[in-house]
Amino acid sequence: MQTRISHITYYVDLKSLYIQFLGCNLHCPWCIRKLTPWDHHLDKETLVGIKFQGLLTIEEFKEVINGVKELEDAVLGGEEPTIDPSLPLIIRILREHNVNIRLLTNAYEISTELLNELVMCASCEVVVSLKSLNPEVYRRYVGGELNTVLRNIEKLIGRGIKVIFETVLIPGINGPAEVEEIARYISTITDKPTLIIDPLVPIPDTPWRRPTNEEIAEAARRASKYVNVVMHERGRPSRVVVLYPRVSVKTN
């Protein structure tokens, strides 16, 4: 069975996998994936030697996972994992390894099979990227219908799945006032509301700038009235190893 997994890295000190999927059902012009298709924590020397080598099959994915001796966490992200029909099976395989699983998603497509798998996964956490609560902004810039996302969020929470939220602070589109609106909404639908605020990383040929420190602080202050705010997650340093695709090594 073919997956949409194109890239896997392993954080040695964190004992954590980052599993990246290729393709997305939305087209956010500020998406950080437009800068590089690879894990942005990789060093320049590694990036030079990495080339796309196709999508993994389920059996190949199992081989990669079975080769990791110490594994505690797995993050499923990249572009959009939920467009992969094999995602429920991937989660099931990871559950068999007794790891904590974090699914990063725009929540635009949540199948019944995926919902059922997440319900059975006590170690799973879903991070929903909520771009905007303005239907016109969502339609114009993201390329979808906001109500579809909101209905899927209700399904996830209604089934008792652990959900936290993420949004990108974008001056002029999703500024501090809009982030506060998102935080207020989140506080009405879940008992333990958490919002990750990611400052925009500017993308070439787009009109949006990086938010100032003052704008970041204001967004956090406004949101914190309603939710637990987590600023951009940098995590502690770790050595990163590419598990797939295989990296070519230069020889003298």
For 32-47, what is each residue's pLDDT tens digit? 999 999 998 898 889 8
Residues 168-192 pLDDT 10s: 999 999 999 999 999 999 999 999 9
User: Taking all residues of the chain, what is their mean pLDDT, rounded to a whole number?
Assistant: 94
Annotated domain spans of the chain = 5-244
Domain spanning 5-244: CATH 2.170.16.10:
no
Pairing of strands 5-11, 240-244: antiparallel
CA proximity to 12, closest of 69, 75, 93 = 69
Q: Please check whether residue 108 is in contact with residue 148, taking contact to mean a CB–CB distance below 8 angstroms.
A: yes
Residues 188-207 pLDDT 10s: 999 999 999 999 999 999 99
pLDDT at residue 251, as a whole number: 47
Q: In sequence order, what E strands does the chain have?
A: 5-11, 16-21, 73-78, 100-105, 124-129, 163-169, 194-199, 228-231, 240-244
pLDDT at residue 235, as a whole number: 53
